[in-house]
Structure 1
Amino acid sequence: MPICVFDIAEDGTTTVPQDNNLTGDRVFRWWHFDLADPLLEAWTREHLHSIPGGALIQSKTRPRCDTFEGGLILNLRGINLNAGQDADEMVSVRIYADEDVLITVRRNKVFAIDAIRRNAEAQQAPASTAKFLETLIEGLTDRVDQHVATIDARTDHYEIALEDKNTPMPRDLPENRRSVIRLRRYLEPQRAALSKLSTLDLPLIPETVSLGLRELANRAAIAVEELDELQGRLISVQEEHDGNIAQSQARHSYVLSVAAAIFLPLGFLTGLFGVNVGGMPGVGSPSAFAILCLSMLGLGAIMVALLKLVRWF
């Protein structure tokens, strides 16, 4: 039924319980479920009030932090590190915590929780529900910081490449812009949720843990601010690329316009003298063609002089 369940003692040692009670005889019992478990809804109805139970099985969530009868309802998001999936399609973890029980539910694998699970199997679990939350949030925040730093490094590369105005627009620039938008969609409410969590006055969160939570809330706020900055920088990069393309097209159009202005009267003359009707001057003169060519060359020179006079180039 659950992915894992541990009774966790004060020193971080763990045992796997043999009963199905919500709580155990140690500091707290950790239940970890997959949202796709068909028995999960019945389990929550049996063991939990409908409000925290319903929060754990919601199909769609956004980051939140609410208290319930001394306990804590918490939804968080983390970077999606699962193979073949986009990192910015953030994975969710639904949490209900009290002093003697902690329940986590995930839809996709959450690597920060998986790290805690491995530590629990190695008898090094967080020693309280508050420490568990701090460890989990720190793991999620570390991965967010790393991913934001990766996007920041790409943006630096885009900006350096712009020193050469002939640099083509990076193919992954639009995808990075969309990635920043998707990340901010979840991280802004997560920042608010962590800020609220860090200020809660609950028995299950001692002051020593609250200090750490405040630092993590500050890191979440910095990540959101960096995303805001990255969004502006990526827009600026794209606008500069668009401007360079527009300037290049304008230069090409300008050259074509100058050429058209020079050759338009010359084309008129060649068309006029090319008509096949009687009475055309110079038809019987062997020097007529040379005179026409020299006249057109002189006319071309006059057109160039006139265009320079009016400052077309």
Structure 2
Amino acid sequence: MPLYTYDILPDGTATPTTGTSPTGKNGYRWFHFDLKDAELPKWVNAHLHPIPAGALLQTETRPRCDVHDGGLMLNLRGVNLNADGPADQMVAVRMWVTDQTVVTVRMRRVFAIEDLRQEIEAGAAPDSSAAFVETLASRLTERIQSTVFELADQVDDLEDAIHDDDDAPLPENLASLRRTAIRLRRYLGPQRDALMALAATDTPLGNNALHRRELANLAMLTVEELDSLQGRLTAINDHHAAQAAAAQNRNSYILSIVAATFLPLGFITGLFGVNVGGMPGVDSPAAFAILCLSMLGITLMTFVVMRWFKWI
């Protein structure tokens, strides 16, 4: 059975109903189902054409907008505000809309629909099925934009940290922000296309093309912002990678200088450390001092040679 069903009149008033017919006496009838409802396949197959019925029963969906037999098949996505996952694991709304019928199906709770239901119960329901679609799409888009803007604020903070300290450490949340932007872009690209198709389609549900075009424009701006965020996050990651590579190169350079300086000294100490007869200076008390001074002179000469060749 539906989660709830309303008969909505043109004046915006609504009455809950238990009727199973797709249409009411006046206005339009809204059915809201859970996809896990065992009665849903029986109801859609009994009252709807097989094509929209199949679209409503799909477990995996992508945003779409198609006109079929005087009605509209529309799938949209919204940010996940449930406690079972992050916002970028988006929730889907499957819709079949005609002049007299609105059927929405969800797998997880959609807060935009819950808000719309509260307005309906308060007597401020959309006055037509077309207005219902536009209102729901607006609520979904508003929440998506809010999520994307919050993501943009976090990216701004990362860029400010680099500006304040060029050697700032790699942010711990950089990888998660990049994953969030990628996941949102994955769904919002098709959603932009679906809303643009909705704006361009001469639907039988009404002629408020201006509002639909505005929704498509907002979706396009959101996708462009996500594309920008992905580029900015990549630039931040590249900056930190370049800083880490530069630090590693500096450390390797210093170690190379130290190794080059001590290489001849190691040779000399190894040579004079052999335990064989005939070693010079064995019986001379000044031999150790002479050896140390010689090694110091070799070190200074090595330093001068490196400076001469501009290695340091």
TM-score (norm 1): 0.97
Query: Could you tell me how far apart the structure 2 residues matched to 1:312 and 1:111 are?
Result: 65
Tell me which amino acid in the other structure corresponds to 1:14: A
Distance 1:157 1:130 in 2: 41
Structure 2 residue aligned with 1:148: 148
Q: Please tell me whether the aligned partners of residues 17 and 24 of structure 1 are also in contact (alpha carbons under 8 angstroms).
A: no
Give 1:85's aligned amino acid: G
Distance (whole Å) between structure 1 residues aligned to residue 273 and residue 9 of structure 2? 103
Q: Which runs of 5+ in 2 are unaligned?
A: none
Residue aligned with 1:109, SS: coil
- In structure 2, the partner of 1:231 is 230
Residue 5 of structure 1 is matched in structure 2 by: 5
Is the CA contact (8 Å cut-off) linking 2:198 and 2:212 kept in structure 1?
Answer: yes
Aligned AA (2:192) = R
Q: Which one is further off, 93-102 or 226-235?
A: 226-235
Deviation at 1:139, TM superposition (A): 0.5
Deviation at 1:213, TM superposition (A): 1.1
- In structure 2, distance between residues paired with 1:186 and 1:262: 59
Q: Identity of paired residues, percent? A: 51
Distance 2:307 2:178 in 1: 45
Q: Give the structure 1 partner of residue 24 of structure 2.
A: 24
State how 1:232-271 maps to structure 2 within 5 Å: 232-271=231-270
What aligned pairs does 1:177-192 form with structure 2 within 5 A after superposition? 177-192=178-193
CA distance in 2, matches of 1:57, 1:18: 21
Separation of aligned partners in 2, 1:197 and 1:120: 24
Task: Show the counterpart of 1:74.
Answer: 74
Are 2:5 and 2:18, in contact at CA under 8 Å, matched by a contact in 1?
no
The secondary structure found in structure 2 opposite 1:161 is: helix
Contact 2:188 2:223 in 1 (8 A): yes
Please report how far the alpha carbon of residue 18 of structure 1 lies from its aligned counterpart in structure 2 after TM superposition: 3.8
Instruction: Please tell me whether the aligned partners of residues 32 and 104 of structure 1 are also in contact (alpha carbons under 8 angstroms).
Output: yes
Alpha-carbon distance in 2 for matches of 1:192, 1:30? 25
- Cα distance in 1 for partners of 2:261, 2:126 equals 82
Query: What's the offset of the Cα at 1:242?
Result: 0.5
Contact 1:23 1:101 in 2 (8 A): yes
Q: Any stretches of 5+ residues in structure 1 without a counterpart? A: none
Matches within 5 A, 1:196-235: 196-206=197-207, 209-235=208-234
SS class of match (2:177): helix
| Aligned alpha-carbon RMSD (Å) | 1.0
Whole-angstrom CA distance in 2 between matches of 1:100 and 1:270: 97
Q: Deviations over 1:173-217 (max 9, x none)?
A: 1121121111111111111110111122233123xx321111010
Q: Which amino acid aligns with 2:8?
A: I
Hey, what does 1:170 align to over in structure 2? 171
- 1:55-110: CA deviations, max 9, x gaps? 10111110000011111000000111111302111110000000011000000111
Q: Name the SS of the counterpart of 1:162 in structure 2.
A: helix
Query: Which has the larger displacement, 242-251 or 121-130?
Result: 121-130
